[in-house]
Structure 1
Amino acid sequence: MSLMDVSNLASAWQIFAELLRWGALALIPVGIIMYFTGHLQRILVFVYGDFTRSERNKFVSYGVLFFVIIGIYWLLRCIKDPTFSAFVDSKHVWKAKIVSLLVVFPLVAGYNYLVDKFPRHRLFYAMSAIYSAIFLVLWFFVRNECYGLPAAKCDRWALLGWIAYVVIESFGSLMVVLFYSFMADTTTPEAGKKGFFVTQTFAQIGAIFGSKVVASQSQVIGVDKLYVVAALVIAFAIPAIVRFIMWYIPKEELAGYQAKGTVESKKKTGFVEGIKFLFSQPYLLGIFVVVSAFEVVVTVFDLQFKVLIQDYAKGDPNVFGAYTGDFGVAVSVLALASLLLGVGKIGRKIGLTISLALMPLMVLAMIFTMQFIPSIGVVFWVMVFAKGVNYALGQPSKEQLYIPTSREAKYKSKAWVDTFGSRFAKASGAGIIGLHYSWLALPFLAISGINIAICVGWFFTAFYLGRKHKHAVDHNEVVC
């Protein structure tokens, strides 16, 4: 990475951040005026669709919960790589992706046990207690002067870097999976076309907030103290909001998709049955492919990006954290702007099938851009665009696929798809980039060829899923 690249990127980001700051300030008085004149309400109906009062209360409440979950996730995500870089090295991140794949099996087994043990809302209480305790313990070790971040690099316990990386990855998988499972289980297909985009808007605001905290505070209070901040919010905020939802939202609004002829199964689907069910259903396997394909390609981009950031930060975890925080803000601002400018309305107009198929086409364009213009500035904005558009369009579209499915699919098999599928994809992407950094030294042109082949398969799978979903909803059926 040349000094010119660093200078250009820093200048572009400063201009971008300044424009955002003034734009946000200008929107406050404009928003107040539009609210009292009724124009704001009409714009929101145009962007998201028309809601009943009960639906609005429900999805705003869900949005507040998702705001907290995603805000904490992005805070942790932005300190994950600086922590790993400080204790291990960013050039070994591809190995950490593979390790997280191995760890996911016992984690999903534990999650499935909790699904059988607790009602759906109490899962939030159980998992909040578990993760808040884990992050408090991590904070205790990471801050230690003998083997933590304050110690010299040679004295730090490398194992802490590996543990922190895997735990944060699992939080991002399981807590987000739990939220989406809960929402899909309590949402009808028609409401889901609007509601998922509302909650995604709250999520992007949360992501901006979490990323901004890291960007502004990592060099002030240090990366280590952010672990205890995350632990306290997880312990108190998430359970409190879930309890409010269960008290405030009418019981009939918590009833989801009910297809004709379906009966709630009393039989528990365990660890092995959950994965058997996944691999016995082509529809669920298709979702597995869609989830995995995006992660494989973006992981290849992401690992290249992290090595460049480490070189830029010169080994300082606080500088690394500030940079990843700024990156998180940029991603989330793009996703939020896309949602507010009507990407949800576009998605409703073009339909779920086209929305799903657009993602591989856009990623293909990014592959060609990365191949022919491989600079740090290009990598930064390609990653911002890829992740921002996925959060704004790809994620809400993918989650709608679970609405016409059984409870076993929503909770058990979805956990496998979104945890094992995501981890498997990231491990595969890590393996692909590892072919370049290992003794094979595979050229990036060959790696781009692999990614293009993945996108082609992803494109055709998206069409299959869209047609299957439409048929099930039109005929009031359950896919699986």
Structure 2
Amino acid sequence: MSEASPPPNSTSRGWRPSLNLRQGEGGLVLLGMLYHFCLLACNYILRPVRDEIGSAYREGLAEAWTWVFFVMLPAAPLYAFLVSRWPRRVFIPLVNSFFLLCLIGFAWLLEWLPEDSRQPLEWTFYVWHAVFNMFIITGFWGFMVDLFHHEQSKRLFGLLFMGGSLGGIAGPLLAGRLVEPFGRTGLMVVAMVFLVGATCTMLAMDRTALCSRRLHSYEDQKAQGRQAPGGGVWQGLAVVFRSPYLLGICGYLFLHSLHSTFLYFTKANIAREAFVDRAARTEFYANVDLLTNALTLLAQMFLTAKVLKKIGVGWTLVLLPLLSLIGFAALGTWTTLAVLVSFEVLRRATHYGLSKPAREVLFTVVSREQKYKAKAFIDTVVYRGSDVTSARLFEGLQAGFGFAPLALGLQGIAYCAVPLAALWALLAANLGKQQVRRQERLAESGIAKPQS
């Protein structure tokens, strides 16, 4: 006699409705969470190594950011070209294998080269990490979009974010604990393990999806009208300059980048003075990432949706500029490690937990064509260009732009950031008002969301 199946409301199935999962989705989502976990754990193990290099060779940091800009300009279209030639299930393992070989090379050369000959290799790793980060994260979300259709993405992507957030905690936790006994080479080996784990999980996810017939091909996406419109950097430039609203978003991102860069360079200076030992400095960077990611996870779980609903997009966008204004004023008054860490952790957690989600809402009131073409321009020229410009501005202020009596210390530069933060807050408030007006016009015209 066969055993009777449990009723639908039994506790054995009680977890599925609570997580908003449907029949057959649990395995895919679990693998997706593990995939995202491994990727971000890998990335955040390597990130303190990268940041410590910037602090150790502080004088060349602005030059390195310039190299990152010029390397990333062709990297973004190269990624788009490769994805257009191969399915992501083929492209991602190949790219991950390439990055794995790079890590093996970096680890071996760090062990083999004498310490006084490592600087060119370390700067190469610094620039390489930017490309690595872009390829693995963009590849992950591209694969998820291919895998899950629009209705599923709204229900399930929050769980995928949670897997990544946990990886963002595990990575710096491991880096901070392992750098002293095993050194940077040991951290690279651990990162390799996570990168291999991410690749294996991605392949298992692909096989599971094919077996359950849930993988959507390019033709299916195109037929359903979900294929993203194409658009290169220069097409995005034209779209942005025709829209005052998109120009405002670019201005917001530029001021965000400027304050982030000023804080990053200040941290590099203070960390180099506070920690002579490079392993201790790497551990410091890992601990800052750990605190930031843990606080970000709490903000995403308990604050993001409530704050956006309570005070709206505009005021949510204003929070980060106001925090930056207060933080830089405090840093100008007390240029200490404790003030720096407190400001850095709160600012980055506010960015990832509140400001970034609110910023994405700004794009919900423009057409899909404007969104994708503008993002191609924003994610390369505006984002990376702002980094380089801000880095050069910081260096110029420190050097007095070639006139020594005008040179500013870290305190003076921090005070210079304060009025710029006030300007940033005003721009954020204005963007929030424009977003509301656009949304109201769409509602009056009976369009739930702009189409193109």
TM-score by length of 2: 0.78
Q: Which runs of 5+ in 1 are unaligned?
A: 1-35
- Work out which of the two has the higher radius of gyration on C-alpha atoms and give 1 or 2: 2
User: What is the distance in 2 between the residues matched to 1:427 and 1:371?
Assistant: 23
1:227 corresponds to = 188
2:396 corresponds to = 435
Amino acid at match of 1:127: V
Shift of 1:219: 0.9
1:446 corresponds to = 416
Q: Which runs of 5+ in 2 are unaligned?
A: 1-9, 402-406
Q: What is the correspondence of 1:64-143 to structure 2 with a 5 Å cutoff?
A: 64-86=34-56, 89-143=57-111
Secondary structure in 2 matching 1:374 = coil
1:204 corresponds, among 165, 177, 182, to 165
Moved more, 107-116 or 206-215: 107-116
2:266 corresponds to = 304
Q: Do 1:356 and 1:463's aligned partners in 2 also have CA atoms closer than 8 Å?
A: no
2:201 corresponds to = 241
Amino acid at match of 2:133: G
User: What is the distance in 1 between the residues matched to 2:280 and 2:368?
Assistant: 44
* Aligned CA distance change for structure 1 residues 376 and 422 (closer, same or farther; 3 Å): same
Q: What is the correspondence of 1:56-455 to structure 2 with a 5 Å cutoff?
A: 60-86=30-56, 89-146=57-114, 151=115, 155-183=116-144, 195-234=156-195, 236-249=196-209, 263=225, 269=231, 273=235, 287-314=249-276, 316-347=277-308, 355-399=316-360, 414=375, 416-440=377-401, 441-442=407-408, 443-444=412-413, 445-455=415-425
Q: Do 2:365 and 2:450's aligned partners in 1 also have CA atoms closer than 8 Å?
A: yes
User: What is the distance in 2 between the residues matched to 1:470 and 1:361?
Assistant: 27
User: What is the distance in 2 between the residues matched to 1:385 and 1:454?
Assistant: 18
Secondary structure in 2 matching 1:392 = helix
User: What is the distance in 2 between the residues matched to 1:266 and 1:80?
Assistant: 33
Amino acid at match of 2:41: G
Shift of 1:97: 2.0
Amino acid at match of 1:105: L
Shift of 1:348: 5.3
Residue identity (%):
19
* Aligned CA distance change for structure 1 residues 122 and 449 (closer, same or farther; 3 Å): farther
User: What is the distance in 2 between the residues matched to 1:291 and 1:179?
Assistant: 24
The answer to which structure, 1 or 2, has the higher relative contact order (CA under 8 A, 6+ apart) is 1
User: What is the distance in 1 between the residues matched to 2:172 and 2:15?
Assistant: 29
1:9 corresponds to = none
User: What is the distance in 2 between the residues matched to 1:117 and 1:276?
Assistant: 27
* Aligned CA distance change for structure 1 residues 109 and 274 (closer, same or farther; 3 Å): farther
Q: Do 1:360 and 1:459's aligned partners in 2 also have CA atoms closer than 8 Å?
A: no
Q: How much is the aligned-residue C-alpha RMSD, in angstroms? A: 4.1
Q: Deviations over 1:70-110 (max 9, x none)?
A: 21111111110223445xx1243233223211221121231
Shift of 1:378: 0.9
User: What is the distance in 2 between the residues matched to 1:427 and 1:144?
Assistant: 32
User: What is the distance in 1 between the residues matched to 2:437 and 2:100?
Assistant: 41
Shift of 1:377: 0.6
Q: Do 1:288 and 1:417's aligned partners in 2 also have CA atoms closer than 8 Å?
A: yes
1:475 corresponds to = 447
Shift of 1:277: 5.6
User: What is the distance in 2 between the residues matched to 1:471 and 1:255?
Assistant: 35
User: What is the distance in 2 between the residues matched to 1:269 and 1:222?
Assistant: 43
Amino acid at match of 2:447: H
Q: Do 2:44 and 2:172's aligned partners in 1 also have CA atoms closer than 8 Å?
A: yes
Q: Deviations over 1:297-354 (max 9, x none)?
A: 122112101211111121x221111111111111111112223334345445655555
Q: Do 1:335 and 1:392's aligned partners in 2 also have CA atoms closer than 8 Å?
A: yes
User: What is the distance in 2 between the residues matched to 1:190 and 1:265?
Assistant: 15
Q: Deviations over 1:343-395 (max 9, x none)?
A: 34544565555544543344334333334443221110110011122222333
Q: Do 1:174 and 1:419's aligned partners in 2 also have CA atoms closer than 8 Å?
A: no
Shift of 1:220: 0.6
Q: Do 1:85 and 1:317's aligned partners in 2 also have CA atoms closer than 8 Å?
A: no
TM-score by length of 1: 0.74
* Aligned CA distance change for structure 1 residues 369 and 339 (closer, same or farther; 3 Å): same
User: What is the distance in 2 between the residues matched to 1:181 and 1:463?
Assistant: 32
Secondary structure in 2 matching 1:220 = helix
User: What is the distance in 1 between the residues matched to 2:306 and 2:228?
Assistant: 38
Q: Do 2:230 and 2:373's aligned partners in 1 also have CA atoms closer than 8 Å?
A: no
Q: Do 1:260 and 1:477's aligned partners in 2 also have CA atoms closer than 8 Å?
A: no
User: What is the distance in 2 between the residues matched to 1:116 and 1:238?
Assistant: 22
Q: Do 1:193 and 1:400's aligned partners in 2 also have CA atoms closer than 8 Å?
A: no
Q: Do 1:187 and 1:403's aligned partners in 2 also have CA atoms closer than 8 Å?
A: no
* Aligned CA distance change for structure 1 residues 210 and 469 (closer, same or farther; 3 Å): farther
Amino acid at match of 1:449: P
* Aligned CA distance change for structure 1 residues 212 and 358 (closer, same or farther; 3 Å): same
Amino acid at match of 1:237: G
Q: Do 2:321 and 2:421's aligned partners in 1 also have CA atoms closer than 8 Å?
A: no
